[in-house]
Amino acid sequence: MAKVMIVYASMTGNTEEIADILGEELEKYDIEVEIEECISVEPEKLLEYDGALIGGYTYDDGELPDEFVDFYEDMSDVDFSGKVCASFGSGDTFYDEFCLTVDLVEKRLKEQGATVPVEGLKVDLDPDEDDVVRAEAYAKTFADALLGK
């Protein structure tokens, strides 16, 4: 059974909600899912999985969440070659740098050799019905790549 780790940073619960939706979707494809907060896990741990989804909200006009900085920086020490990975997160379209964390994580995953089959999923605040539909499509593309379909 393929195994995926979902790692997230969430202050008010929106990114956590997206993580949970994505986890439930991946389980529909018989993928084993583990969900962890970024403060509880090191990026190197992801090498024990076939793939990973990494998510975070954006703070302070385009900054990474404080609690996510160590995880993000330590990603630079890990070779993600052969791993299928993608990014996701919540932001607020009110800000110029909407969901910048999602872009930064996606860029770093690619720099570290990950296969990134789907563009980062950006959600405005908490996920609404349309976002759930987009999350389902994102999870399907990710699962197809992971399972080699």
Ligand X SMILES: Cc1cc2nc3c(=O)[nH]c(=O)nc-3n(C[C@H](O)[C@H](O)[C@H](O)COP(=O)(O)O)c2cc1C
Burial 94-128 (b: 16+ CB within 10 A, else e): eeeeebbbbbbbbebbeebebbbbbebbbbbeebe
Is residue 4 within 8 Å of residue 146, measured between CB atoms? yes
Q: Which residue is nearest to ligand X (CB)?
A: 91
Nearest to 44 by CA among 34, 55, 52: 52
Q: Which of 59, 68, 71, 88 binds ligand X (CB under 6 A)?
A: 59
| Residue 92 to residue 94: CA distance in whole angstroms | 5
Confirm or reject binding of residue 98 to ligand X (CB under 6 A): yes
Secondary element (H or E) of residue 137? helix 129-146
Is 97 a binder of ligand X (CB under 6 A)?
yes
Determine, following the binding rule CB under 6 A, whether residue 82 of this chain makes contact with ligand X: no
Residues 59, 60, 65, 70: what is their CA dihedral angle, to the nearest 10 degrees?
150
Cβ distance to ligand X smaller for residue 29 or 95: 95
DSSP letter at 3 equals E
- Min dist. Cβ of residue 58 to ligand X (A): 4
Sole binder of ligand X in the list 13, 24, 28, 74 (CB under 6 A): 13
87 binds ligand X (CB under 6 A): no
The residue from 61, 81, 129, 149 that contacts ligand X (CB under 6 A) is 61
Does 58 contact ligand X by CB under 6 A?
yes
Residue count, binding to ligand X (CB under 6 A): 20
Part of the chain binding ligand X (CB under 6 A), chosen from 31-39, 55-63, 72-80, 105-113: 55-63
Residues near ligand X, by CB under 6 A: 10-15, 57-62, 90-92, 95, 97-99, 125
